[in-house]
């Protein structure tokens, strides 16, 4: 991309050199001048010039202009309210009109104290309103969904929320109804705003019109703290701020990392924090009593018990990791088990591949791409939600986005020399591959494909793998560098250590447990551990930890403890245990990290992991054995993709405000396949694979290729890999 030409703009007498076409609001900021705005929000697309708060005087134009719609042109001379009486009058007028029907109920408004309207009124506003007529009064607040409330009297009709719904999330569910003074923000037929990114409208709203039902009346701005951290619920690792009050998390806000999330969060990341306060949260350790369930024991006894289990099973230990642990937790476990007991065998949630490091790009590069190919039939939004928003942004920017279907098959097809799409991928300077399939080895496959297509030499082309876990890569690397010994997987498992809730919920881990003499589980929740564990050590949430994680880009990010856990810190008690086995391990995360940093993050220290972490440069040379997949999809009939929905899992289960978001008992089917089987949209159908069958509502999905059906895992019953659908 060529350098944009610089132009000179004069604002309130100050000259600034800025790129031609830069928005005037930004130009003004560079000159140290604030142009107040309400509706202006560049992330929502082109300016709409609706609220008229930004009125300025433009030399040579008699009428006041909306500053937000002006762009820098050479010789442009602008006077804002600071130096132009006319502009000031205009702004004052706008504020008076906005307040004409505003309830001015700041004392009882959640936005009070952090409300742009309140601030601007203090700074510019008319001291007293001349409006003495009945204000527009409307039914309030009305639920936009179980998670969002709308107060239409406070709404200033800036259309930020509806523009987000139309032009960013593209769900077109939150709209404006009626005209003129009767315009209101609404959903269809007052049904809930049911979409994965709905919560962003709360943050976008410049007044207290759209508020979080979780946060209503929970806190006032001067009582809260916003702790900068990183979301731990998916591999994107959106940058967030946890608002806390009196040691409790009250809400999650975005903390715009322009390369990772651009300030958007999915509703899981935003609302699911309430799992910290779930009824079945484990506080005390539990030990199995001879055929009489679990009994609470003290932490001291629990550590003794753990020590006993470790000693008696000698080396015959297998560790099942979740991939949601911090780098430091995984490393600490590794030091204890591998270093202290020579127990090197671990079950990783997914394979990870270093090969991708050679094709590393920031997620924001997706928007710059001209050609994007998604490999695999798992909905991107369900695996790594915010990536879906980058894809939509890419499409809006004119990129061609392809859904290639079965990951392995399309990998082979695209690698082939005669494939048309493959050919264009080779030619393009800005092409991106995204693996969104179940197979954890996808990282290696997609990397191999990228190399095959000659992406190495192209800084604009890259590849991503959407893993299932938040920190799979970090956990694998940390475990790997925690010790360099090796050992055979034990014939007979003496002790199975299950680290964390994802592992505890994993059917494969349960199978292992069958084969284990003893099972030690760390988990946040009673229900996940009860029944099969001999010893349960209460776990912590990502909001209660200090440490680091590695997201799907390969970006090392800092997780900060937002609130103290009601239980001991995991690294701390592992350190205690380690001591008993003569392993030297600091209970302090920063010390632990510096040790890891030296070994596997190129010698960086804890302090080097910044608030908005940078993406490490592409690996020049990676020793890598991965090759383009050669697994062949088998069987006839329709291939079943039983995906793990975004709105599922331990945290979502424990968040009342998210229950309505859970996927319905639906089978998604391509238009072709539906036609061939006489299946109508919305009709109840039978999905069967030899022996078993389930009744589901059919939804015809235009984004789905023929030969595949999609069913949320929880609704797929025991269906096999290939199924039939009948009306």
| Interface positions with ligand FES (CB under 6 A) | 37-40, 49-54, 66, 68
Beta-carbon-side half-sphere exposure of residue 54 (alpha carbons within 13 Å):
27
Q: What is the contact mask toward another protein in residues 14 to 53, using x (rule: CB under 8 A)?
A: ---------------------------------xxxxxxx
Q: Is 205 in the site for ligand SF4 (CB under 6 A)?
A: yes
Helix (H) or strand (E) run with residue 523 in it: strand 516-523
User: Is the Cβ of residue 159 or residue 271 nearer to another protein in the bound state?
Assistant: 159
| 3-state SS track over 618-659 | CCCCCCCCCCCCCCCCCCCCEEEEEECCCCCCHHHHCCHHHH
* Subset of residues 141 to 170 that bind another protein, contact rule: CB under 8 A: 156-157, 159, 166
Q: Is 463 in the site for ligand SF4 (CB under 6 A)?
A: no
Q: Is 98 in the site for another protein (CB under 8 A)?
A: yes
Question: What span, in angstroms and rounded, lies between the C-alpha atoms of 124 and 109?
Answer: 21
Based on its alpha-carbon atoms, the radius of gyration of the chain, rounded to whole angstroms, reads 28
Q: Is 50 in the site for ligand SF4 (CB under 6 A)?
A: no
* Three-class SS state of 303: helix
Question: What span, in angstroms and rounded, lies between the C-alpha atoms of 664 and 646?
Answer: 13
Q: Is 187 in the site for another protein (CB under 8 A)?
A: yes
Give which of 44, 98, 34 is closest to 67, Cα–Cα.
34
Q: Supply φ then ψ for residue 572, to 5 degrees.
A: -60, -50
Question: What span, in angstroms and rounded, lies between the C-alpha atoms of 702 and 404?
Answer: 14
Do the Cβ atoms of 64 and 43 come closer than 8 Å?
A: no
Q: Which stretch binds ligand SF4 (CB under 6 A): 203-211, 225-233, 436-444, 637-645?
A: 203-211
* Subset of residues 387 to 446 that bind ligand SF4, contact rule: CB under 6 A: none
Question: What is the smallest separation between the CB atom of 153 and ligand SF4, expressed in angstroms?
Answer: 10
Do the Cβ atoms of 521 and 501 come closer than 8 Å?
A: no
Give which of 231, 254, 227 is closest to 242, Cα–Cα.
227
Residue from 8, 26, 124, 136 in contact with another protein (CB under 8 A): 136
> Largest Cα–Cα distance of the chain, in whole Å?
89
Question: What is the smallest separation between the CB atom of 159 and ligand SF4, expressed in angstroms?
Answer: 5
Q: Supply φ then ψ for residue 550, to 5 degrees.
A: -120, 120
Question: What is the smallest separation between the CB atom of 121 and ligand FES, expressed in angstroms?
Answer: 15
Residue 182 binds which one of another protein, ligand SF4, ligand FES, none, with CB within 5 to 8 A depending on kind?
another protein
Question: What is the smallest separation between the CB atom of 37 and ligand FES, expressed in angstroms?
Answer: 3
* Subset of residues 170 to 189 that bind ligand SF4, contact rule: CB under 6 A: 185
CB atoms within 10 A of CB 277: 11
User: Is the Cβ of residue 203 or residue 267 nearer to ligand SF4 in the bound state?
Assistant: 203
Give which of 385, 645, 650 is closest to 540, Cα–Cα.
650
The residue written with tokens 């000259």 in the block is 15
Question: What is the smallest separation between the CB atom of 54 and ligand FES, expressed in angstroms?
Answer: 3
Question: What is the smallest separation between the CB atom of 54 and ligand SF4, expressed in angstroms?
Answer: 15
Question: What span, in angstroms and rounded, lies between the C-alpha atoms of 287 and 78?
Answer: 73
Question: What is the smallest separation between the CB atom of 456 and ligand SF4, expressed in angstroms?
Answer: 45
Q: Is 294 in the site for ligand SF4 (CB under 6 A)?
A: no
User: Is the Cβ of residue 207 or residue 297 nearer to ligand SF4 in the bound state?
Assistant: 207
Q: Is 158 in the site for ligand SF4 (CB under 6 A)?
A: yes
Helix (H) or strand (E) run with residue 302 in it: helix 299-312
Q: Is 565 in the site for ligand SF4 (CB under 6 A)?
A: no
Residue 681 binds which one of ligand SF4, ligand FES, another protein, none, with CB within 5 to 8 A depending on kind?
another protein
Residues that bind ligand SF4 (CB under 6 A): 155-161, 185, 204-205, 207, 209-210
């Amino acid at each position: 991309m060529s350098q944009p030409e610089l132009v000179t703009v004069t604002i309130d007498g100050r000259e600034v050199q800025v790129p031609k076409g830069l928005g005037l609001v930004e130009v003004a900021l560079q000159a140290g001048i604030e142009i107040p705005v309400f509706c202006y929000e560049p992330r929502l697309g082109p300016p709409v010039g609706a609220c008229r708060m930004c009125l300025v005087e433009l030399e040579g134009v008699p009428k006041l202009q909306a500053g937000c719609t002006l762009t820098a042109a050479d010789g442009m001379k602008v006077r804002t309210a600071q130096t132009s009486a006319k502009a000031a009058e205009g702004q004052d007028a706008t504020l008076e009109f906005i307040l004409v029907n505003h309830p001015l109920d700041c004392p009882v408004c959640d936005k009070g104290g952090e409300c742009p309207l309140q601030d601007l009124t203090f700074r510019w506003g008319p001291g007293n309103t001349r409006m003495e007529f009945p204000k527009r009064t409307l039914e309030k607040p009305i639920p936009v969904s179980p998670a969002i409330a709308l107060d239409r009297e406070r709404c200033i009709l800036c259309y930020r929320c509806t523009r987000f719904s139309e032009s960013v999330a593209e769900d077109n569910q939150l709209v404006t109804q009626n005209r003129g003074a009767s315009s209101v923000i609404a959903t269809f037929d007052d049904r809930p705003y049911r979409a994965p990114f709905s919560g962003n409208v709360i943050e976008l709203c410049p007044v207290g019109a759209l508020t979080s039902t979780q946060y209503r009346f929970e806190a006032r701005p001067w009582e809260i703290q916003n702790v900068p951290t990183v979301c731990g619920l998916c591999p994107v690792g959106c940058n967030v701020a946890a608002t806390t009050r009196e040691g409790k998390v009250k809400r999650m806000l975005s903390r715009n990392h322009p390369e990772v999330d651009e300030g958007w969060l999915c509703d899981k990341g935003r609302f699911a924090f309430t799992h910290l306060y779930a009824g079945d949260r484990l506080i005390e350790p539990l030990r199995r009593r001879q055929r009489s369930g679990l009994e609470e024991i003290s932490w001291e006894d629990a550590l003794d018990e753990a020590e006993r289990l470790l000693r008696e099973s000698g080396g015959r230990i297998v560790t099942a990791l979740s991939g949601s642990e911090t780098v430091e937790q995984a490393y600490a476990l590794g030091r204890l088990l591998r270093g202290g007991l020579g127990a090197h065998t671990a079950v990783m949630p997914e394979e990870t591949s270093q090969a991708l490091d050679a094709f590393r790009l920031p997620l924001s590069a997706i928007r710059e791409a001209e050609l994007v190919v998604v490999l695999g039939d798992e909905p991107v939004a369900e695996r790594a939600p915010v990536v879906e928003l980058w894809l939509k942004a890419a499409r809006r920017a004119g990129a061609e986005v392809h859904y290639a279907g079965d990951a392995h098959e399309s990998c082979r097809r695209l690698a082939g020399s005669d494939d048309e799409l493959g050919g264009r991928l080779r030619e393009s300077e800005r092409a991106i591959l995204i693996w969104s399939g179940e197979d954890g080895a996808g990282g290696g496959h997609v990397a191999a494909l990228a190399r095959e297509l000659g992406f190495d030499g192209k800084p604009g082309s890259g590849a991503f793998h959407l893993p299932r876990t938040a920190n799979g890569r970090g956990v694998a690397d940390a475990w790997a560098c925690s010790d360099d010994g090796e050992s055979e997987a034990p014939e007979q498992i003496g002790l199975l250590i299950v680290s964390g809730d994802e592992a505890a919920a994993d059917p494969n881990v349960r199978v292992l447990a069958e084969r284990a003499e003893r099972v030690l589980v760390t988990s946040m929740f009673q229900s996940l551990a009860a029944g099969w564990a001999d010893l349960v050590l209460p776990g912590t949430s990502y909001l209660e930890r200090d440490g680091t994680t590695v997201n799907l880009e390969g970006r090392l990010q800092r997780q900060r403890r937002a609130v103290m856990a009601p239980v001991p810190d995991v690294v701390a008690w592992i350190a205690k245990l380690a001591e008993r086995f003569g392993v030297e391990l600091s209970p302090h995360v920063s010390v632990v990290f510096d040790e890891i940093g030296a070994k596997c993050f190129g010698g960086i220290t804890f302090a080097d992991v910044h608030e908005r972490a940078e993406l490490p440069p592409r690996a020049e040379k990676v020793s890598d054995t991965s090759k383009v997949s050669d697994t062949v999809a088998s069987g006839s009939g329709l291939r079943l993709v039983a995906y793990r929905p975004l709105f599922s899992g331990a945290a979502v289960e424990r968040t009342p405000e998210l229950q309505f978001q859970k996927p319905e008992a639906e089978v998604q089917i391509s238009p072709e396949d539906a036609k061939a089987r006489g299946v109508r949209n919305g009709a109840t159908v039978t999905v069967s694979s030899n022996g078993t069958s389930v009744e589901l509502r059919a939804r015809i999905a235009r984004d789905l290729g023929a030969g595949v059906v999609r069913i949320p895992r929880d609704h797929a019953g025991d269906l096999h890999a290939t199924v039939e659908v009948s009306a």
